[in-house]
Amino acid sequence: MVDKKIAVIGLGYVGLPLAVAFSKKFKVVGFDLNQARIHELEKGIDSTLEVANDTLSSVVGNLSYSNNIKNTKDCNIYIVTVPTPIDKANRPDLIPLINASKNVGTVLNKNDIVIYESTVYPGATEDVCVPELEKSSGMKFNKDFFCGYSPERVNPGDKINTLEKIKKITSGSTKETAIKIDNLYQTIISAGTYQATSIKVAEAAKVIENTQRDLNIALVNELSVICQKLELDTLEVLEAAGSKWNFLPFRPGLVGGHCIGVDPYYLTHAAEQVKYNPTLILAGRRINDNMSFYVVKKVIQKMILNGIDIKKSTVGVLGITFKENCPDVRNSKIADIVYELKNWGAKVAVVDPWVNKNELQDIYDIKLGKIDKKDQVDSLIVAVGHDQFRAKSPQELRSLCKGLSPILADVKSIYNKEDLEAQGFTVFRL
């Protein structure tokens, strides 16, 4: 395949940086069903903030955008980067992936390669996606077209560990295809590649990476609950334990986003399909999924002890994206905090300088509010470590609160506890 032309299917946090990286070497068509997304990219604007506007401008000649799959028909490599969420029962939702496969199948030509980057459970590429490609193309897998799997390792908002600097796992449906795919990614990945022995191995590696992180965070989250009951400060305990050379430096927190809070459910789904009950992984998920409600419980308890009338109070929430310095609100556990506070009868004011207010309202039906010296709140939950919040002094935080005994929940342990207490805050942190 001498003359490569690449189609990237899905232009979100994963697809756009990939399309931009490849467009520095090849002709690329970026496909997305969202017409508004296509329009903003054609104007050189990326609302996800993953790609700088000047970078988009620099690849205009090699990168085009379309919401019509027929405009990718002259491509010979298709890379699918659509989201793979979970449903309300925490089961894999493969509908976007299936629809993308059907679409790609309609434009496949002989000897084309389809590479999947979307997170799936082991076996999904060949058992779910390939049949859709065969049906809509009328061609036979590994005879007329070929597939690969190269899991994304994007860290939204991270300007240091970017796509090119993270080692890439690659795989292919035949030995020859695996080599072609590995060589393709080596053209853009300066950190190098790791060629897995099969598509299924690459799929499993992806979900295991994030399951491991999820379990480690669940451990320290449970430790946080225990420390509270023992009247110990979790951070002090972790810092002491961290003096040992091989202690892993995980911190308690809310686990959201499109990877760590989702991928373990893909792995447990695969386990259950082969009649195995993944006890430990699901236990970790239960702990992490419940931490938002635990935070609210502790804040409400402290507000009551301080004589604050919950139903007449307003609680300020600083940050609602799933992580710091990033506009991504997918699977944000802070939304659960907002809902739970409202269930207790409190008013809630949410402030986040990074979030797209329309997206927030569309996904969660939550409106941004105002918190300042004129619009004070009774207590504060600093839920996300955005730079704007880290820069606030204890005095500035106190000026946002009325009353004599406000609560400050420092979920990410950003501030010095003693300095907060000196301003009159009753402090809670995980």
pLDDT tens-digit series, residues 44-93: 999 998 999 999 988 888 999 999 999 999 999 999 999 999 998 999 99
Q: How far is CA 265 from CA 84, 90, 133, 207, 425, in A?
A: 11, 6, 25, 9, 39
- Locus of tokens 């961290």: 242
Together in a domain, 59 and 192: yes
Cα–Cα distance measured from residue 353 to residue 113, given in angstroms and rounded to the nearest whole number = 41
Q: Which two tokens stand for residue 389?
A: 């919040």
Other CB atoms closer than 10 Å to residue 390's CB: what's the count?
A: 14
Do 108 and 77 form a contact (C-beta atoms < 8 A)?
no
Other CB atoms closer than 10 Å to residue 174's CB: what's the count?
A: 12
**What average pLDDT does the chain have?**
95
The verdict on pTM exceeding 0.85 is yes
Q: Is the pLDDT of residue 1 over 50?
A: no
Cα–Cα distance measured from residue 430 to residue 292, given in angstroms and rounded to the nearest whole number = 11
What is the percent of the chain where pLDDT is above 70? 100
Summarize pLDDT for 175-185 with one digit per residue, the tens.
Answer: 999 999 999 99
Cα–Cα distance measured from residue 321 to residue 103, given in angstroms and rounded to the nearest whole number = 31
Summarize pLDDT for 118-177 with one digit per residue, the tens.
Answer: 999 999 999 999 999 999 999 999 999 999 999 998 877 778 888 999 999 999 999 999
User: In the listed set 241, 268, 287, which residue is the last one of a domain according to the structure?
Assistant: 287
The pLDDT assigned to 123 comes to 96
Taken as a whole, the chain contains a residue count of 430
Together in a domain, 407 and 272: no
Together in a domain, 240 and 91: no
Instruction: State which residues form the domain around 219.
Output: 206-287
User: In the listed set 163, 198, 233, which residue is the last one of a domain according to the structure?
Assistant: 198
Together in a domain, 61 and 161: yes
Summarize pLDDT for 297-340 with one digit per residue, the tens.
Answer: 999 999 999 999 999 999 999 999 999 999 999 899 999 999 99
Together in a domain, 319 and 334: yes
Together in a domain, 277 and 226: yes
Q: Is 75 a catalytic residue?
A: no
Q: What is the CA radius of gyration of the chain?
A: 24
Determine the average pLDDT of the residues in 217-238.
96
Q: Which two tokens stand for residue 231?
A: 């009247």
Together in a domain, 267 and 311: no
Q: Is the pLDDT of residue 388 over 80?
A: yes
The pLDDT assigned to 259 comes to 85
SS (H, E, C) the chain: CCCCEEEEECCCCCHHHHHHHHHCCCEEEEECCCHHHHHHHHCCCCCCCCCCHHHHHHCCCCEEEECCHHHHCCCCEEEECCCCCECCCCCECCHHHHHHHHHHHCCCCCCCEEEECCCCCCCHHHHHHHHHHHHHHCCCECCCEEEEECCCCCCCCCCCCCHHHCCEEECECCHHHHHHHHHHHHCCCCCCEEECCCHHHHHHHHHHHHHHHHHHHHHHHHHHHHHHHCCCCHHHHHHHHCCCCCCCCCCCCCCCCCCCCCHHHHHHHHHHHCCCCCHHHHHHHHHHHCHHHHHHHHHHHHHHHCCCCHHHCEEEEECCCCCCCCCCCCCCCHHHHHHHHHHCCCEEEEECCCCCHHHHHHHHCCCECCCCCCCCECEEEECCCCHHHHCCCHHHHHHCECCCCCEEEECCCCCCHHHHHHCCCEEECC
Together in a domain, 276 and 398: no
CATH label of the domain that carries residue 323: 3.40.50.720
Q: Is the pLDDT of residue 287 over 50?
A: yes
Together in a domain, 236 and 352: no
Together in a domain, 249 and 364: no
**Number of domains, the chain:** 3
The pLDDT assigned to 281 comes to 96
Among 27-41, 108-122, 255-269, 375-389, where is mean pLDDT lowest?
A: 255-269
Give the active site residue among 227, 259, 326, 401: 259
User: In the listed set 169, 198, 227, which residue is the last one of a domain according to the structure?
Assistant: 198
Together in a domain, 142 and 166: yes
Together in a domain, 171 and 24: yes
